[in-house]
Amino acid sequence: MLVSIDEETFELSESAEFIFRGINGRRSVQEIGVLLAEKYAIPVDTAVEDVAELLDALARSDILEFPG
């Protein structure tokens, strides 16, 4: 999956795409992490950290914007 803003384009890995598609404005980082852990059979703590890191990177790149 490719995501872009302005002239920058990012290619998401399979797991990053799963996380990106899990964002719906209602799910928490924890909830997306649980879904990721279930899909890839990894520890929930690791999955939640991965979700938080990706969301932070996407926000720093202005691909995501958090309310507030």
Burial class for 31, CB neighbours closer than 10 Å (0-12, 13-18, 19+) = middle
| Tens-place pLDDT, residues 14-31 | 999 999 999 998 999 999
Structure tokens at 29: 């980082």
CA–CA separation, 68 vs 66, rounded Å?
A: 7
Quickly state the pLDDT bin for 63 (edges 50, 70, 90).
confident
pLDDT at 68: 67
54 against 10, higher pLDDT: 54
**Average pLDDT over the chain, rounded to an integer:** 92
- Of 18, 29, 25, the C-alpha closest to 66 is 25
User: Does the predicted model carry a pTM greater than 0.75?
Assistant: yes
18 against 5, higher pLDDT: 18
